[in-house]
Structure 1
């Protein structure tokens, strides 16, 4: 099973997205053989968390089993969260300008659901070190470090930080990621700690999947990265 941990639907004001529709995404997923994708709606990441989350749930309902919802939590809006019918929670500390280890995110950690958060090396909001702080406070919460810190100069450091915290995972989407880096990260942190994501519709799904499909990994490690690890994190519940 191939599972994409990091996807989006909708538009973004300063980024060209040729097709942010659910129909378009499903068409690409079918062409590539991707079974399911975790989505957050960009309206939710941006100005309207509750409405954007509603749109994400509507897309998941329209395509049962193909979209898992990462419900967005905005710490300034304090929007409602649910434990039902979701893959987990999506956080974007940089857009919301609220550091990942800020106590305003406590309602998220209290749910105990998996969390996918934007990570960016040297960001005051989402540097990988902040993921370590949260992982220590909440060892029961599976936490995906989005983009593996985003910048290549920080990839190895992110892998080293993750390695000692079993609830931390490297999510590998980003325009700077390469197949060789994916294999290197699997070697540094363990293949069981690396999770495939594409960042579609921000980035082209075909390129994102191509990086992991063609990465120099052995078949067992590729199976873990492409879906096995995320299935384990989600407890086998992909609804």
Structure 2
């Protein structure tokens, strides 16, 4: 099973997205042989978490088994979170301007669901060191360090910091990531701690998938990164069922 951990739907005000639709996303999944993608709606990441989450659930209902939902939590809006029928929770400390280790995110950790968070080396909001703080506080929460820190000069550091925390995983999407870096990260932290994501439709799904499909990995390690690791973290059936409403 191939699972894309990091996807989006919808437009973003300062970034060209040629096709922000769920139909376009699923068409690409079909062409590439990807079973499912977890998405957060960009409206939810931005100004309106409640409405954006509603649109994400609606897309998942239209495409059962192909689209999973990372429901967004905005610590300033303190919006409602579901505890069933989702892949987990998405947070973006840099957009929210709220540090990942801020207590205003406590409602997220209390759910115990997997959490995908934007990670950015050197950011005051989402540096990998803050992921370590949260992973230590909440060892029962699977935490995906989005973009593996985003910048190449921080990839190895992100792996080193995450290493002692078995609930902390490196998610590898981003325009600076390469197939060779994916293999290096697997060597540094172990292939069982690296998770494929593309950042589609924000970034081109074909490029994100191609990086891991062609990375210099063993077949066993590639299978873990492309979906085996994420499938292990998701609640049973969460990648096959639509959301409950």
**TM-score band, normalised by the shorter chain?**
over 0.9
1:201 aligns with 2:190: no
What SS does the aligned partner of 1:192 have? helix
* Residue in structure 1 matched with residue 142 of structure 2 by the alignment: 142
Classify 1:133/1:94 alpha carbon distance in 2 versus 1 (closer, same or farther; 3 Å): same
* Residue in structure 2 matched with residue 157 of structure 1 by the alignment: 157
* Residue in structure 1 matched with residue 99 of structure 2 by the alignment: 99
* Residue in structure 1 matched with residue 191 of structure 2 by the alignment: 191
The Cα offsets for residues 134-153 of structure 1, whole Å up to 9 and x where unpaired, read as 00000000000000000000
What SS does the aligned partner of 1:125 have? coil
Distance apart, 1:161 and its partner CA: 1.0
User: For residues 189 and 67 of structure 2, what CA distance do their matches in structure 1 show?
Assistant: 28
Distance apart, 1:236 and its partner CA: 3.7
User: For residues 226 and 43 of structure 1, what CA distance do their matches in structure 2 show?
Assistant: 27
* Residue in structure 2 matched with residue 167 of structure 1 by the alignment: 167
User: For residues 220 and 54 of structure 1, what CA distance do their matches in structure 2 show?
Assistant: 37
* Residue in structure 2 matched with residue 90 of structure 1 by the alignment: 90
* Residue in structure 1 matched with residue 68 of structure 2 by the alignment: 68
User: For residues 163 and 96 of structure 1, what CA distance do their matches in structure 2 show?
Assistant: 27
What SS does the aligned partner of 2:116 have? strand
1:215 aligns with 2:215: yes
The Cα offsets for residues 104-136 of structure 1, whole Å up to 9 and x where unpaired, read as 000000000000000000000000000000000
* Residue in structure 2 matched with residue 77 of structure 1 by the alignment: 77
Distance apart, 1:225 and its partner CA: 0.1
Distance apart, 1:187 and its partner CA: 0.2
* Residue in structure 2 matched with residue 119 of structure 1 by the alignment: 119
* Residue in structure 1 matched with residue 48 of structure 2 by the alignment: 48
The two structures have a TM-score, normalised by structure 2, of 0.97
What SS does the aligned partner of 1:29 have? helix
Distance apart, 1:192 and its partner CA: 0.1
Aligned pair count reads 239
User: For residues 186 and 84 of structure 1, what CA distance do their matches in structure 2 show?
Assistant: 31
User: For residues 116 and 70 of structure 1, what CA distance do their matches in structure 2 show?
Assistant: 8
The Cα offsets for residues 53-95 of structure 1, whole Å up to 9 and x where unpaired, read as 0000000000000011000000000000010110000000000
* Residue in structure 2 matched with residue 58 of structure 1 by the alignment: 58
What SS does the aligned partner of 2:201 have? coil
The answer to whether the 8 A contact 2:87-2:235 is kept is no
User: For residues 47 and 223 of structure 1, what CA distance do their matches in structure 2 show?
Assistant: 36
What SS does the aligned partner of 1:90 have? strand
User: For residues 46 and 161 of structure 2, what CA distance do their matches in structure 1 show?
Assistant: 29
